[in-house]
Chains A and B, each alone.
Chain A
């Protein structure tokens, strides 16, 4: 069935350390994987995405890796800063009974401790 599992649900790191969030999806046809950051009281904002024809994508301190065989993709944030504190969501597209939609992970609350 359609499902995106996201771990961990909460993550606390010291400023300057790295943070890794992992998502697993079930639809083998999924081919586009965005990550969103949602600060308290604000809208989800796309921070990075990856398409299935690449295994890794990097944008400054943020990177995403994709393992299509294992059906999982991960968000890596290096040199974390207090402003990285937010809830992060992964998503994967899926088609079920003719309906196409994005399934979102349940979110990871990241706290960067100064």
Chain B
């Protein structure tokens, strides 16, 4: 079974621009979570989508948004990019996202904001 995939793998943007990242979960997985990973803050939860609905949300500003499609693929959008948005963005999928399910991570998208 193919693993979680993310595109693109690398992005360079300038301040003020917007960016869209894509995540394709493992086949059959309906829950997709997004995380921001930085050296200083570690892995921070952005939001989780299940059945095309945002079910859980972390403490990030409204510039960070996402959506999920009927095939469970998910996109994350960051508008008005700031230098501090430079990070590795990871998505993770699981069957239903319940408490005791394992999350499987994608390879991440490394975003650099200049």
Question: Which residue numbers of A lie inside 8 Å of B, CB to CB?
Answer: 31-32, 34, 36, 42-46, 49, 51, 89, 91, 93, 99-107
Contacting A at CB under 8 A, from B87-105, are 90, 97, 99-105
Choose from A32, A43, A104, A106 the contact partner of B100 (Cβ within 8 Å).
A32
Q: Give the size category of B's interface with A.
A: 20 to 34
Question: For the complex, would chain A's binding face be called helix, strand, loop or mixed by DSSP majority?
Answer: strand
Q: Does B66 contact A (CB under 8 A)?
A: no
Q: Using Cβ atoms and an 8 Å threshold, which residues of chain B touch A45?
A: 105
Q: Does B106 contact A (CB under 8 A)?
A: yes
Among residues of B, the one whose C-beta sits closest to the C-beta of A33 is: B100
Contact A42 B42 (CB under 8 A): no
A104 touches B42 (CB 8 A): yes
Q: Which residues of chain B have C-beta atoms less than 8 A from A102's C-beta? A: 33, 45, 103
Q: In the bound complex, how far is the Cα of B103 from the Cα of A36, in angstroms?
A: 10
Per-residue 0/1 for B40-52: is the Cβ within 8 Å of any A Cβ (1 yes, 0 no)?
A: 0011010010000
| 5 A-B pairs with the lowest CB-CB distances in the bound complex, closest first | A104-B43, A32-B100, A101-B45, A43-B105, A106-B42
A-B contacts besides A43-B107, A99-B58, A106-B42, 15 pairs, CB < 8 Å: A32-B100, A32-B101, A42-B107, A43-B108, A45-B105, A46-B103, A51-B100, A99-B57, A100-B55, A101-B56, A102-B33, A102-B45, A104-B42, A104-B43, A105-B42
A78 to B90 alpha-carbon distance, docked (Å): 30
